């Protein structure tokens, strides 16, 4: 069932050393560990593939993307079984995530067939214009070349081997090298087998996709610093992402690093909504906060309210909704340890009240609820650091002036949410200009956990939510990360790229 090796340009290659996954059930599986030499082989194969794949037709690439989706679905039961074993995520979650993964592959196929992403422009020649004539100029987006993608720990399918970054890059015409995440190498192995079969079925150059598993830090460094790699996609921690970002920037020829690094995703619960339905909002928050053990980058960790009896009732309702939720298995021992450390850090912070404390250890997570004031929040920037897991904090402000100060104090966020009723319109209007500068997505009367894959979605934001505020890692706009505009001036029409003629 598993290859246990690396897929390099159509060949399953063994490395010099091995590592194992850390399954929640059953025996560990053994995998070959990546090396710098394998990175070199994959990058050279990707560059060779680009000379054909980068100039393939949109119809050919669309067929390839749909074939990958079909091959993933054909292995659906095996992928779900392995994903559950490695991550502890429930079967329903893995099935849903597989649907999102194959759905976005098909979405990109449809998107490139329409041709809108090319942003084609044409300025006709004006030979008689005075004082100088104007040449004929065409413009179109073109693929940038080989792309490296780092798999995410919290999404073994949708943000990993054949996830959004890979789908967008392949749709653009860019070969991809995936550095698989060590939390789920078996799942990555099975998905890579699906891609390998699609490559052979469609007659694509085998260098268009490679998977390198495991390996030490030198392997990741070599991946982002290889001179043939033109961009990097990453979803993960702020520390790891910033280290890779710095490596990309320090290259002799710097390249873009598209990192999605995390967010506390604050909710602002305005007075009208708080008084009318505070308990319902608290219950919904508890469900969103603990979904998937809180291991979503859009997990709403902060709720901002204005002091008073309604705020006190909201806090009590949130505590009551969170208290019955039991322990959930986290994705890795390391993520669980970081969650426990984050909990302990907040518990020891001056001005922070422990509202709900529970007991969890090993790889488990249970919900925690803390409370603080806006004044304490504004005085201690550490309170704005993400704790990855089912931990929430209520920030109580004295008035709307303090609410606005809290909003202005935020670092870049993936999302900000307004809970509001009609009577809150003026307060919402006051906050909107601030929130637009802080987040890539603003919601009203909902919860940000879960990201719709569609044309209008933005999953990104100002740093540290992501490293490129003009990009998104979800939705069809994400293809633009792996394209660059090229102008064609007075080029004979017979020489222009086919998509322009």
Q: Report pLDDT digits (tens) over 30-79.
A: 999 999 999 999 999 999 999 999 999 999 999 999 999 999 999 999 99
In angstroms, the CA 278 to CA 317 distance is 8
Average pLDDT, the chain: 96
Give the three-class secondary structure for 224: helix
- CA proximity to 192, closest of 300, 51, 319, 31: 31
What pLDDT does 362 receive? 84
Does residue 262 register a pLDDT over 90? no
CB 155 within 8 A of CB 184: no
Residue 179, token pair as written in the block: 């550095």
Q: What is the DSSP string of 230-273?
A: -EEEEES-HHHHHHHHHHHHTSSS---EEEE------EEE-HHH
In angstroms, the CA 501 to CA 489 distance is 14
Strand pairing class (30-32; 18-20): antiparallel
- CA proximity to 237, closest of 258, 217, 262, 220: 262
6: β partners: 13
Report the pLDDT averaged over residues 400-416: 98
Indicate if 260 belongs to the active site.
yes
- Of 41, 47, 71, 260, the active-site residue reads 260
Task: Please tell me the number of Cα atoms within 13 Å of 290 on its side-chain side.
Answer: 23
Residue 240, token pair as written in the block: 């790891």
Measured at the CA of 445, the angle between CA 234 and CA 455, to 5 degrees, comes to 45
What pLDDT does 245 receive? 97
What pLDDT does 458 receive? 97
Does residue 501 register a pLDDT over 90? no
What pLDDT does 292 receive? 93
In angstroms, the CA 278 to CA 294 distance is 21
Does residue 16 register a pLDDT over 90? no
**Contacts with 27 (C-beta within 8 Å, 6 or more apart), sequence order:** none
Band of pLDDT at residue 134, cut at 50, 70 and 90: very high
In angstroms, the CA 30 to CA 35 distance is 16
Global pTM reads 0.96
CB 390 within 8 A of CB 367: yes
Put residue 278 in one of left, alpha, beta given phi > 0 → left and psi -120 to 50 → alpha: alpha
Helices and strands, counts by H and E, the chain: 14, 21
373: β partners: 396
Report the pLDDT averaged over residues 337-359: 94
Indicate if 86 belongs to the active site.
no
- CA proximity to 37, closest of 284, 215, 193: 215
Band of pLDDT at residue 358, cut at 50, 70 and 90: confident
Band of pLDDT at residue 6, cut at 50, 70 and 90: very high
Put residue 445 in one of left, alpha, beta given phi > 0 → left and psi -120 to 50 → alpha: left
What pLDDT does 420 receive? 98
CB 166 within 8 A of CB 176: yes
Q: Please report how the helices 36-53 and 217-225 are oriented relative to each other, as an axis angle in degrees rounded to 10.
A: 30
What pLDDT does 360 receive? 81
CB 334 within 8 A of CB 375: no
Band of pLDDT at residue 321, cut at 50, 70 and 90: very high
Band of pLDDT at residue 311, cut at 50, 70 and 90: very high
Residue 277, token pair as written in the block: 């339905």
Does residue 15 register a pLDDT over 90? no
CB 327 within 8 A of CB 288: no
Per-residue pLDDT of 209-247, as tens digits, reads 999 999 999 999 999 999 999 999 999 999 999 999 999
CB 362 within 8 A of CB 378: no
Residue that the structure tokens 């504004």 belong to: 378
- CA proximity to 449, closest of 247, 322, 299: 299
In angstroms, the CA 51 to CA 166 distance is 18
Kind and range of the H or E run holding 383: none
326 CB-contact burial (10 Å; exposed 0-12 / middle 13-18 / buried 19+): exposed
- CA proximity to 472, closest of 454, 449, 450: 454
In angstroms, the CA 451 to CA 345 distance is 29
- Of 84, 174, 297, 416, the active-site residue reads 297
Q: Please write down the long-range contacts of 102-106, taking CB distance under 8 Å and 24 or more positions apart.
A: 102/69, 102/72, 102/73, 103/69, 103/453, 104/158, 104/163, 104/164, 104/167, 104/453, 105/65, 105/66, 105/68, 105/69, 105/72, 105/162, 105/167, 106/65, 106/66, 106/69
């Amino acid at each position: 069932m598993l290859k246990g090796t690396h897929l390099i340009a159509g060949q399953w290659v063994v490395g010099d050393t091995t590592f194992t996954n850390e399954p929640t059930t059953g025996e560990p599986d053994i995998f070959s560990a990546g090396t710098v030499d394998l990175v070199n082989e994959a990058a050279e194969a990707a560059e060779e593939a680009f000379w054909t794949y980068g100039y393939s037709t949109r119809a050919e690439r669309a067929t390839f993307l749909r074939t990958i989706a079909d091959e993933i679905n054909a292995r659906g039961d095996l992928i779900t079984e392995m994903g559950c074993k490695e991550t502890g995520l429930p079967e329903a979650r893995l099935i849903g995530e597989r649907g999102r993964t194959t759905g976005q592959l098909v979405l990109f196929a449809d998107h490139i067939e329409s041709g809108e992403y090319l942003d084609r422009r044409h300025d006709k020649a004006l030979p008689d214009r005075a004082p100088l004539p104007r040449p004929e100029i065409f413009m179109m987006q073109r693929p940038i070349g080989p792309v490296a993608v780092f798999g995410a720990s919290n999404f073994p399918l949708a943000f990993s081997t054949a996830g959004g970054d890979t789908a967008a890059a392949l749709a653009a015409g860019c070969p991809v090298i995936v550095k698989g995440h060590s939390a789920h190498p078996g799942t990555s192995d099975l998905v890579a087998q699906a891609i390998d079969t699609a490559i052979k079925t469609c007659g694509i150059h085998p260098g268009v996709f490679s998977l390198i598993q495991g390996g030490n830090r030198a392997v990741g460094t070599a991946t982002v610093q290889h001179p043939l790699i033109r961009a990097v996609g990453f979803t993960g921690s702020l520390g790891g992402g910033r280290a890779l970002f710095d490596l990309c920037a320090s290259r002799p020829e710097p390249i873009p690093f598209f990192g999605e690094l995390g967010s506390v995703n604050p909710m602002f619960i305005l007075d009208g909504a708080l008084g009318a339905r505070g308990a319902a909002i608290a219950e919904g928050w508890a469900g969103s906060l603990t979904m998937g053990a809180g291991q979503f980058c859009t997990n709403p960790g902060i709720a901002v309210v204005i002091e008073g009896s309604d705020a006190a009732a909201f806090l009590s309702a949130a505590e009551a909704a969170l208290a019955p939720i039991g322990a959930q298995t986290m994705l890795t021992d390391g993520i669980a340890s970081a969650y426990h450390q984050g909990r302990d850090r907040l518990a020891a912070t001056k001005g922070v009240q422990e509202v709900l404390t529970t007991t969890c250890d090993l790889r488990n997570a249970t919900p925690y609820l803390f409370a603080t004031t806006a004044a304490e929040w504004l005085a201690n920037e550490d309170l704005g650091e993400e704790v990855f897991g089912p931990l929430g904090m209520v920030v109580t402000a004295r008035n709307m002036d303090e609410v606005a100060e809290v909003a202005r104090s935020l670092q870049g966020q993936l999302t900000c949410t307004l809970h509001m009723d009609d009577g809150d319109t003026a307060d919402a209007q006051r906050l909107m200009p601030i929130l637009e500068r802080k987040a890539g997505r603003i919601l009203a009367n909902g919860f940000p956990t879960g990201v719709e894959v569609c044309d209008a979605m933005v999953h990104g934001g100002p740093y540290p939510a992501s490293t490129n505020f003009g990009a998104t890692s979800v939705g069809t706009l994400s293809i633009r990360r792996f394209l660059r505009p090229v102008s064609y001036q007075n080029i004979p029409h017979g020489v222009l790229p086919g998509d322009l003629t």
